[in-house]
């Protein structure tokens, strides 16, 4: 697991093999294609949104990848333009010069290979199946800059069906996952907790009041996601809302979540971070590791890694899905913190000037956060690391 983790220590940059050709790293970075994961429960309107983007976005050469194969519904077939009835085997040209591909066992390497064969694209949109857990997909694309990948994860967009989402979130019996995620956790929960943007679609089917209720429910679960309401996926300003979000490079405003309409399962907690010295930075790193890897909130009465005596089965479930933060060091440096499930990294903020002006904060989204005092735990842990 630890290989996924990029710690606070300044790691040695990978040695570049000299090719004799001057290498401009910035150009390399610029030529990487962003990938946006479009997720959402069955029938929420993912394909409709992709179709809308393809008709609106003329300035970009977009590749659409459908992470489903064979049993494509009627709407998927409509996306595969002029190929009536036929199954999507590989890439196919769309009317506007974009391309579409359906892959089953999609992975970074597979997508890169296909891109290689078909030339480069400005943008990739990946529609996951309605039952996919983005927490499993995102880390594959969330790559270290040093890697030679030609793609990088831009953000996760989650569509919800305004008319059905609350029922879906509450339909424990029908949708509770039996993979150990626990009662109350549905695929819809996972998709919302990982979202950088939540699109509340099918606004035409509900009243204003119902939309407001959905908004509050979602904001209560994922306090970091931006929320937009649409009909048929029509997002007015795609560039502002859906594309080029760079959600894994920046951490945004880290606004304190609204506390209304609480969902029993997923919640967001926002913690203030004081200015950190080296020791506290190490503590912060260790604290996050304890949360993500040991699923344990260290407390003054229990050190991380300690066995819970006798009743480990009774320990409240703690499952952090998403984590974002900004830390300011005593030496005046701004660091950003990004995490998806067990993977996290702490890195220098790309834009020091603006980041340094903001306050230190850590925002956690996940399950079981209401049952533990994370604030007390973090404060205690940081104080242990403080260099006097
Ligand atoms: N009334 C209404 N119907 C919509 C809206 N958006 C999409 N639909 C319809 O909802 C159905 C499902 O839309 P899709 O775009 O296929 O949804 P999806 O999320 O891709 O579905 P799956 O891939 O099967 O999970 C289609 O019949 C759409 O025409 C909307 O805003 N309002
Ligand atoms: Zn679809």
Q: What is the pLDDT of residue 152?
A: 87
Q: What is the pLDDT of residue 127?
A: 87
Q: What is the mean pLDDT of residues 252-270?
A: 74
Residues 271 and 244 in one domain: no
Q: Which residues, in sequence order, are CB contacts of 53 under 8 Å at separation 6+?
A: 62, 125, 233, 238, 242, 243
Q: What is the pLDDT of residue 37?
A: 93
Q: Which of 38, 48, 165 to mutate to test the pocket of ligand 1 (most atoms within 8 A of CB)?
A: 48
388 pLDDT tier (thresholds 50, 70, 90): low
CATH code for position 231 = 3.40.50.300
Residues 193 and 337 in one domain: no
Q: What is the mean pLDDT of residues 115-122?
A: 72
Tokens of 316: 């409240």
DSSP-assigned states of every residue in 116-180: HHH---SEEEEEPPTT--HHHHHHHH---TTS--SEEEEEEEEEEETTTHHHHHH-HHHH---SS
Q: Distances in Å between the alpha carbon of 235 and those of 46, 49, 63, 193, 213? A: 13, 8, 19, 21, 20
Q: What is the pLDDT of residue 280?
A: 95
Range 68-101 burial, b when 16+ CB lie within 10 A, else e: bbeebeeebbebbbeeeeeebeebbebeeebbbb
- How far apart are alpha carbons 263 and 219 in whole angstroms? 10
| pLDDT higher than threshold 50 for residue 105 | yes
Q: What is the mean pLDDT of residues 207-232?
A: 94
**Model confidence, pTM:** 0.78
Residues 187 and 47 in one domain: yes
**Does the beta carbon of 45 sit less than 6 angstroms from any atom of ligand 1?**
yes
**Does the beta carbon of 40 sit less than 6 angstroms from any atom of ligand 1?**
yes
Q: Which region among 17-26, 191-200, 351-360 has the lowest average model confidence (pLDDT)?
A: 17-26
Residues 120 and 221 in one domain: yes
Q: pLDDT by residue (tens digit) across 364-384? A: 998 888 777 899 999 999 999
Closest-CA residue, ligand 1 atom 6, reads: 232
The answer as to whether 142 is a domain residue is yes
Q: What is the mean pLDDT of residues 8-12?
A: 45
Q: Which residues, in sequence order, are CB contacts of 21 under 8 Å at separation 6+?
A: none
Residues 208 and 324 in one domain: no
Is 192:133 a contact under the CB 8 Å cutoff?
Answer: no
Q: What is the pLDDT of residue 354?
A: 83
Is 326:352 a contact under the CB 8 Å cutoff?
Answer: no
Residues 228 and 333 in one domain: no
The answer as to whether 169 is a domain residue is yes
**Side-chain half-sphere of 276: how many Cα atoms within 13 Å?**
30
74 alpha carbon, closest ligand: 1
Closest-CA residue, ligand 1 atom 2, reads: 202
Residues of the chain with pLDDT > 70, as a percent, come to 69
Q: pLDDT by residue (tens digit) across 151-164? A: 889 999 999 999 99
- Which of the two residues, 90 and 56, has the higher pLDDT score? 56
Q: Residue 371 has what DSSP assignment?
A: G
Residues 210 and 157 in one domain: yes
Residues 154 and 128 in one domain: yes
Q: pLDDT by residue (tens digit) across 207-216? A: 999 999 999 9
Residues 204 and 328 in one domain: no
**Does the beta carbon of 28 sit less than 6 angstroms from any atom of ligand 1?**
no
- How far apart are alpha carbons 113 and 7 in whole angstroms? 30
SS3 271: strand
Chain position carrying tokens 């925002």: 363
The answer as to whether 10 is a domain residue is no
| pLDDT higher than threshold 50 for residue 34 | yes
Q: Which of 40, 45, 66, 210 to mutate to test the pocket of ligand 1 (most atoms within 8 A of CB)?
A: 45
**Does the beta carbon of 158 sit less than 6 angstroms from any atom of ligand 1?**
no
CATH code for position 356 = 3.30.1220.10
- Which of the two residues, 49 and 315, has the higher pLDDT score? 49
- Which of the two residues, 135 and 89, has the higher pLDDT score? 135
Q: What is the 3-state secondary structure (H, E, C) of 93-133?
A: ECCCCCEEEECCCCCHHHHHHHHHHHCCCCEEEEECCCCCC
Mean pLDDT, the chain, rounded, equals 77
Closest-CA residue, ligand 1 atom 25, reads: 42
Q: What distance separates the 2 farthest-apart alpha carbons in the chain?
A: 71
**Protein residues with C-beta less than 5 angstroms from the ion ligand 2:** 46-47
Long-range Cβ contacts of 177-185 (<8 Å, 24+ apart): 181/319, 181/367, 182/317, 182/319, 182/367, 184/264, 184/265, 185/265, 185/266, 185/367
Q: What is the mean pLDDT of residues 208-227?
A: 94
Q: Which residues, in sequence order, are CB contacts of 85 under 8 Å at separation 6+?
A: 77
Q: Please name every residue paired with 346 in a beta bridge, in sequence order, or none if there are none.
A: 337
- How far apart are alpha carbons 128 and 36 in whole angstroms? 11
The answer as to whether 217 is a domain residue is yes
Tokens of 131: 């039952």
Q: pLDDT by residue (tens digit) across 192-205? A: 999 999 999 999 99
174 pLDDT tier (thresholds 50, 70, 90): very low
Q: For the chain, how many structural domains are there in total?
A: 2
Note down the domain range covering 283. Answer: 266-299+317-385
41 alpha carbon, closest ligand: 1
């Amino acid at each position: 697991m630890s290989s996924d983790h990029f710690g606070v220590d300044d790691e040695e940059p990978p040695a570049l093999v000299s090719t004799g050709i001057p290498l401009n790293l910035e150009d390399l970075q610029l030529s990487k294609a962003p990938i946006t994961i479009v997720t959402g429960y069955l029938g929420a309107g993912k394909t409709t949104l992709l179709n809308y983007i393809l008709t609106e976005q003329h300035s970009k050469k977009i590749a659409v990848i459908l992470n489903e194969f064979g049993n494509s519904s009627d709407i998927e077939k409509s996306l595969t333009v002029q190929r009536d009835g036929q199954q999507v085997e590989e890439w196919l040209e769309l009317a506007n010069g974009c391309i579409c591909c359906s892959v089953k066992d999609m992975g970074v390497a597979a997508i890169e290979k296909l891109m290689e064969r078909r030339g480069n694209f400005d943008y990739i949109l990946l529609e996951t199946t309605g039952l996919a857990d983005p927490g499993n997909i995102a880390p594959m694309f969330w790559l270290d800059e040093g890697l030679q990948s030609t793609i990088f994860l831009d953000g996760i967009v989650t569509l919800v069906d305004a008319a059905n989402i609350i029922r879906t979130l509450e339909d424990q019996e029908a949708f509770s996952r039996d993979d150990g995620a626990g009662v109350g956790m549905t695929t819809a929960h996972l998709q919302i907790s990982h979202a950088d943007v939540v699109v509340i679609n099918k606004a035409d089917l509900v009243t204003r009041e119902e939309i407001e209720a959905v908004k509050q429910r979602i904001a209560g679960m994922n306090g970091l996601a931006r929320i937009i309401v649409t009909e048929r996926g029509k997002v007015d300003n795609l560039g502002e809302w859906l594309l080029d979000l760079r959600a894994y490079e920046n951490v945004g405003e880290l606004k304190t979540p609204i506390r209304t309409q609480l969902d029993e399962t997923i919640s967001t907690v926002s913690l203030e971070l004081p200015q950190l010295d080296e020791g506290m930075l190490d503590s912060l790193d260790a604290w996050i590791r304890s949360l993500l890897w040991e699923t344990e909130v260290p407390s003054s009465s229990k050190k991380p890694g300690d066995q819970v005596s006798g009743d480990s089965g009774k320990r409240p479930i703690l499952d952090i899905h998403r984590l974002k933060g900004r830390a300011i060091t005593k030496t005046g440096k701004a660091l950003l913190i990004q995490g998806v499930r067990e993977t996290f990294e702490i890195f220098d903020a790309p834009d020091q000037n603006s980041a340094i002006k903001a306050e230190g904060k850590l925002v956690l989204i996940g399950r079981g956060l209401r049952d533990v005092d994370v604030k007390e735990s973090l404060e205690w842990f940081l104080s242990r690391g403080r260099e006097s």
